[in-house]
Amino acid sequence: MEQLDDIDLRLLKILANDSSFTIKELAAKVNLTPSPVVQRVKRLETGGYIKKYIALLDPEKFNKGFIVFCNIKLKQHDRKIGHNFVKDIKQIEEVVECYNISGDYDFFLKVFARDMKHYQDFVFNKLGSVESIGSTHSTFVMAEIKNTHNINF
């Protein structure tokens, strides 16, 4: 891992919180001129410290504020079934995050739906069509307490 100095770390923290700053604004925040800031940000991007820039959308504004965490257990543990599950789950628009996990379940999904009826339809018609799934367990979000993508370093 490449050595990052304090300015690199400050730039990363600023961008992790709000990536819409201009280079000029970033330069002012770290007390540098724009030219070295451009070079540093490019180095952080090519070094893989910055994966991509995105806009975080509010699911409530799109009538998708019903958040469900769904644990998935596969029917069997073999390469073909695992690959088929991953291929199938990537195609389902309601699934916004998917993690391969250890423990009692194999995968952990974050799902955005309109409401309970939409989620029920999702489970029966979309998850139900994924042949590699053995069982599911759903947990419904009552309130979001913290949601950050910052990494503490």
pLDDT in tens, 34-59: 999 999 999 999 999 999 999 999 99
Residue 7 has pLDDT above 90, yes or no: yes
The mean pLDDT value of the chain amounts to: 95
pLDDT band at 88 (very low <50, low <70, confident <90, very high): very high
Give residue 139's region: left, alpha or beta (phi > 0; psi -120 to 50).
beta
pLDDT of amino acid 14: 95
pLDDT of amino acid 78: 87
pLDDT of amino acid 148: 86
- With contact defined as beta carbons under 8 Å apart, do 108 and 71 qualify? yes
**CA dihedral of residues 112, 117, 120, 126 (deg, nearest 10):** -60
Cα 127 to the chain's mean position, in Å?
A: 20
Q: How far apart are CA 86 and CA 47, in angstroms?
A: 27
pLDDT of amino acid 119: 98
Fold type of domain 6-46: Arc Repressor Mutant, subunit A (1.10.10)
pLDDT of amino acid 109: 98
pLDDT of amino acid 95: 98
Residue 60 has pLDDT above 80, yes or no: yes
Count the Cβ atoms, other than its own, within 10 Å of residue 12: 19
Say if 6-46 and 59-140 have the same CATH topology.
no
pLDDT of amino acid 10: 96
pLDDT band at 149 (very low <50, low <70, confident <90, very high): confident
Residue 136 has pLDDT above 90, yes or no: yes
pLDDT of amino acid 153: 80
Domain at 59-140: CATH architecture? 2-Layer Sandwich (3.30)
Write down the domain spans for the chain: 6-46, 59-140
Burial class (CB within 10 angstroms; exposed 0-12, middle 13-18, buried 19+) of 119: buried
Distances (CA, A) of 133 to 11, 99, 120: 42, 15, 16
Beta bridge partners of 138: 70
